[in-house]
Amino acid sequence: MSNWVLLIVGIILIINAGIAYAYPAFPLGLTWTMANDICNGPLGELGKALGTLEIRQVCTMASMITMAIYGASIIGFILILVGMVVPKKKK
């Protein structure tokens, strides 16, 4: 794979992660990361303990999507760095 492909894939991953990080996913304007923060806070723990199965499922999904957002950002940065640092192979 040549360097420009790594750069393009890294940039696409970072752009997608940025959109997923900032785009509201819930009717109240909450993003997935905000929902994950609420689920991990005291109110979210109380809601998971006393609430329905749907609350626990949304909190689990918010946690997984948040990890995917952060993972895509990290992989994107690594691909950009590798694409910039590794010399292109000469034929």
Give 91's pLDDT tier (boundaries 50, 70, 90): low
Read off the pLDDT of each residue in 61-70 and give the average, rounded to a whole number. Answer: 94
The C-alpha atoms of residue 55 and residue 75 are separated, in whole angstroms, by 30
Note whether residue 90 is domain-resident: no
Burial 35-64 (b: 16+ CB within 10 A, else e): bbeebeeeebeebbeeeeeeeeebbeebee
Report percent pLDDT > 90 for the chain.
Answer: 52
Domain that holds residue 62: 3-85
The contacts of residue 76 (CB under 8 Å, 6+ apart) are 9, 10, 11, 12, 13, 14, 17
Residue 13 has pLDDT above 90, yes or no: yes
- Looking at the structure of the chain, the number of domains it has is 1
Q: Is residue 81 part of a domain?
A: yes
Mean pLDDT, rounded, for 8-34 = 91
- Closest by CA to 59, choosing from 84, 40, 79, is 40
Q: What pLDDT, on the 0 to 100 scale, is given for residue 48?
A: 83
